[in-house]
Structure 1
Amino acid sequence: MLNSDRFITTRQLAESLGVSESSVKRWVDDGSLEAHRTSGGHRRIPLAQAARFLRRHRWSTFRPDQLPFAASPALGPVDDLAAEHLFDALSKDDPETARAIISGRFLSGADVATIGDLLIRPAMARIGELWKHDPQGVLVEHRAVDTCIAALHELIPWLDPAPELAPTAVTAAGPADPYMLPPLLASLTLRERGFKVHNLGPLTPLSSMTLAITRYQPTLLSLSVSTDTSLPRASEWEAMAKSSRQAQCEIVVGGRCVGAFPFGSLRIPVNRCGSMLELGAFASGLSRSKDARKPLDPPRKGRK
């Protein structure tokens, strides 16, 4: 059963926070905390809703081991020590500890972009070098990627849902880019900024990105390029350029090989982002600018 399918009682949440059960019931009744009622009238709180509540309020007395998380979150800051602990867990193929570190930092208030840039990225960079001197390096890297993907998917139900009129974004890795983590991190970063996101994943042909722009009419397309071979030829951009102009879609390119991207030879404006934090900041600014350009409702006429 996924975290998003689980429900907890008001008593469970109260015990994990060190507060009275009546306080939790009051939060439910005043709408601060979403819950469902059983046929007998008992309040049942979705675990995902509890996670959102905990992250929003950052409860200092919170005991995550009292709740049925898939891996009990390890609360704490995102710093060099946390990145070291994540590297140790991933290199030892200890998925439970790795997931606990990632989920715990998220519940402690770190956003997805910070977790991606300052926690997962440095740990995976070290993992990616193991094959040079360790015959188990490739095995360790593949398991580490799978663990990080599982941990990030666990965060999705904990993100606030996008508003009904939220802007749309598409994320993808280039045509010859097999890496799954960058577009997934980009998709969660944009979700956290209030976007509705369609993640196309790795190895995405430009023709598929063009179709996605036509279908979803996104405000933003985020493309990750992590290998030299994933860099598209300028001629391949023509159809995408036409679709992006028609959809008024901004294109953002990032990734390990972004420095080799042919920005100067393209006939459409393409934005460069060097990190998930930069992508998040760009998306937030883009969303605000779109909101500012929305036509205002006409003033209501008063009675004569």
Structure 2
Amino acid sequence: MSTMTLQEAADQLGVHYMTVYRYVRLGRLPARKVGGTWEVDPSDLESLRRGHDRSVRPKHSADWAKRLEARLLEGDEAGAWGVVEGALASGSTPAEIYTGLIGPAMASVGERWHAGELSVAEEHLSTSVVLRLIGRLGPRFARKGRTKGRVVVTTPPGERHFIPSLMVSDFLRGAGFEVIDLGADVPVEALSGIVEGLDGLVAVCISSTRVNAERAVRRVVKAANKAAPDVPVLLGGASIQDADHASTLGADGYAKDAPGAVEVLLELVSG
């Protein structure tokens, strides 16, 4: 038998059909929908059977990330959120969901798309589900109390990927900063208009993932420096190699990822 239906899988396990369906939605049992019917690999079912009790709470974030990736590629928002809820119930924080689940899952999707394993439609479908997950997780980063200052988070013109900037924004909110997130593909003039004269501004963070975007990044850094000469500009993202690279583009600092951005800004405001 090459594959089996959910009902056949339920019969094998001796459980109700809806129980197996829930396993699929929670990412416990890998499955793919073919012609409107879920299909299960018998080897995956056997793995579930052998580790039935242990599979509810994976020990490693990589396991959760794989489960999440499977739900993203199916466009299964409810199932993806079920994976997130499972990880939260296991003790993961919202920040760890971003760095240990969503980040790795989307990185894998991107790599598989570049390798030709996934279609553009599958990549876009995964992105749309992740955006909704972030929308639900974002409020959990909200923090009461006095703000540590305002931070503008933006991207260069032509940048289409703004999931990294969304995650940076939430991390900064969780650290006590007030964030103005401008989203993707931000015109330089728009950034200047926001930054100029903004009270309490402590930094401008620019996220860049697009290859060959150095010219656009330099324009954004220059515009931010002109609009707010005394405000430091930080660079990060997949297209920024390291601190030296960020410096050559005119930036005052570099952050490898969202936790790194928090670390740099906390040092900035405390110093």
Give the 5 Å matches for 1:96-245: 96-106=78-88, 110-131=92-113, 132-134=115-117, 137-217=119-199, 218-231=201-214, 232=216, 234=218, 237-245=221-229
- Structure 2 CA distance, aligned partners of 1:148 and 1:192? 19
- Structure 2 CA distance, aligned partners of 1:265 and 1:150? 36
- Structure 1 CA distance, aligned partners of 2:154 and 2:89? 27
Specify the alignment match of 2:239 in structure 1: 257
SS in 2 for 1:220: strand
Give the CA deviation at 1:111. Answer: 4.4
- Structure 2 CA distance, aligned partners of 1:236 and 1:157? 29
Cα gap change, 1:159 to 1:275, in 2 (>3 Å):
closer
What amino acid is the match of 1:222?
C
What amino acid is the match of 1:240?
A
- Structure 2 CA distance, aligned partners of 1:127 and 1:210? 34
- Structure 2 CA distance, aligned partners of 1:164 and 1:273? 24
Work out the number of aligned pairs and report it: 212
- Structure 2 CA distance, aligned partners of 1:106 and 1:224? 27
User: Is this contact kept in 1: 2:68–2:80, CA < 8 A?
Assistant: yes
TM-score by length of 1: 0.61
- Structure 2 CA distance, aligned partners of 1:128 and 1:85? 16
SS in 1 for 2:268: helix
SS in 1 for 2:265: helix
Match of 1:272 among 249, 254, 263: 254
TM-score by length of 2: 0.68
User: Is this contact kept in 1: 2:94–2:140, CA < 8 A?
Assistant: no
Cα gap change, 1:236 to 1:110, in 2 (>3 Å):
same
Cα gap change, 1:109 to 1:221, in 2 (>3 Å):
farther
Give the CA deviation at 1:108. Answer: 5.5
SS in 1 for 2:206: strand
SS in 1 for 2:228: helix
Cα gap change, 1:192 to 1:233, in 2 (>3 Å):
closer
Give the CA deviation at 1:282. Answer: 1.8
Give the CA deviation at 1:235. Answer: 5.7
Cα gap change, 1:164 to 1:228, in 2 (>3 Å):
same
Cα gap change, 1:103 to 1:190, in 2 (>3 Å):
farther
Give the CA deviation at 1:262. Answer: 5.2
What amino acid is the match of 1:191?
R
Specify the alignment match of 2:26 in structure 1: none
What amino acid is the match of 1:251?
V
Give the CA deviation at 1:77. Answer: 6.5
Larger deviation, residues 87-96 vs 106-115: 106-115
What amino acid is the match of 1:143?
L
User: Is this contact kept in 1: 2:233–2:251, CA < 8 A?
Assistant: yes
Q: Gapped runs of 5+ residues in structure 2?
A: 1-55
User: Is this contact kept in 1: 2:221–2:233, CA < 8 A?
Assistant: no
> For the aligned residues, what is the CA RMSD?
2.8
- Structure 2 CA distance, aligned partners of 1:197 and 1:255? 18
What amino acid is the match of 1:244?
A
Post-superposition Cα deviations, 1:156-177, rounded to whole Å, max 9, x if no partner, equal 3333344344411111121111
Give the CA deviation at 1:202. Answer: 0.5
